[in-house]
Structure 1
């Protein structure tokens, strides 16, 4: 359920959970313990994708809404490219063991 998010609400929320913005579809922030982060959710071909936008300490509500608006304007293909870049792990060529 979407909530009318305000900066004061974000700064003072005490309960853990996901809080969705009523103004920008897909924008939410998650509070888990002492940390709070912004996320953008989008469904493509029946699959939900979630991309982290950043910490609520670094990004205000206004900044998170601007980024969510930008992400919402991307085509499905452009969004998936960004999503896949975040998910890819670089292969490890060699490991150095320090003892």
Structure 2
């Protein structure tokens, strides 16, 4: 992965864009940190899809975990119940 300081990236944006379009990942840094990565849109879309899949898998796993408790009318371990009044008063928020 090519690493480019922000100042240089400003001067070479067209070339960096072309490099990224052709599959190269470009790491742009500001004062050696605060890095961002310039990637082809297809790579970004793939990353977003993988991220969504991971989130969906976590949600499905959580549903499978709590479903038996909910079906029995029980509160799953690690969960708590608040009344409407507690929520309105802001209890347990933040």
Q: TM-score range by the shorter chain?
A: under 0.3
Instruction: Report the TM-score when normalising by structure 2.
Output: 0.27
Larger Rg: 2
- In the superposition, the TM-score normalised over structure 1's length comes to 0.26
